[in-house]
Amino acid sequence: MSSVVRSQGSCVAISSLSPSSSINRCPHASAASDAATSGTPAWIGKGLTCVCFKRKGAYERICINLTPQQEERLKRLKHRTKVYFDASRPDHQEALRALWSATYPGKELHGLISDQWKEMGWQGRDPSTDFRGAGFISLENLLFFAKTFSTSFQRLLKKQGGKRAAWEYPFAVAGVNITFMIIQMLDLDATKPRTFIRSVFLQMLSENEWAFDLLYCMAFVVMDKQWLERNATYMEFNDILKSTRAQLEGELLMDDVLRIEDMPSYSLLC
């Protein structure tokens, strides 16, 4: 089993390997400058093939090589984040209808532009205008959540449990913001990886191709849990989102978290 060793600050190293991972001593280590700042990633090689981290002290530089499977899954995920919602595309229209059906089983939808959408927490009659912040993947995330963890999804949608604020967060729009937050947290817009969080996630992605969508579901329940614990109101939503990100990052860096299912917050889903 692999174990990621953390110390105070941003210094990172890997102490042992799992059979499924592709983590090797970096052949370029001697070429890197010894004067680099502790914990600063040094990117060696071309493209996504070599991700090197180094730290001062007992641990040597290491190199995390992406397997062909990881590269392919990352490529597909990055493509998903670049797809804009297009209300004229039949498949996008069908996905929106599928979200309605999964959210309100047996309840007829009067149209893709309707006041009914406000019930779900969209800002207006046309939900397509709210997807501009994160694109089509934010709709895919909501649909995945509704179908995979329907109990948690419905509880959050209906604002069940706990003492609720007079000004609650709009459910669907919150979901779009969570998608955007995770994209930023994982540094998916970068051409080359720049954070250890992303490297940890890539290992998870090799184990489960739905790792991003599962992380989204966890983020949603963590956000709602923190919302209730802090008795938050709508004006505090951004602060809650920041603390949600901080909690997820902390869990991703835990020594015993090797798969997305190992994250403590995964147990909140049902």
The model's pLDDT over 193-236, given as tens digits with 9 standing for 90+, comes to 678 898 899 889 999 999 999 999 999 999 999 999 999 988 99
CA angle 5, 214, 4 (to 5 degrees): 5
Position 187 confidence tier, pLDDT thresholds 50, 70, 90: very high
- Rounded to whole angstroms, the Cα distance separating 117 from 173 reads 11
pLDDT for 167 equals 84
For the chain, what are the domain ranges?
68-268
Question: Alpha-carbon distance 186 to 77, whole Å?
Answer: 11
- Judged by DSSP in three states, 229 sits in helix
**Given this model, what pLDDT does residue 64 score?**
57
Query: pLDDT tens digits, residue range 235-260?
Result: 999 999 999 999 999 999 998 999 99
Which pair of tokens denotes residue 178?
């969570």
> Tokens for 146?
């509704």
The torsion defined by the Cα of 261, 265, 266 and 269, in degrees rounded to 10, comes to 180
- Residues 45-103 have pLDDT tens digits of 333 344 444 432 333 333 457 789 888 999 999 999 999 999 999 999 999 999 999 99
CA distance 242 to 261: 22
| Cβ 248 vs Cβ 185: under 8 Å | yes
> Is pLDDT above 80 for 7?
no
Structure token digits, residue 163 = 């003492």
Position with higher pLDDT, 185 vs 1: 185
* pLDDT value for 133: 77
Residue 247: CB atoms within 10 A of its CB come to: 19
Three-state SS sequence of 175-196: HHHHHHHHHHHCCCCCCCCCCH
Tokens 């003492």, located at residue:
163
DSSP 8-state symbol, 206: H
DSSP 8-state symbol, 83: P
Which range has the worst mean pLDDT, 30-34, 71-75, 131-135, 140-144? Answer: 30-34
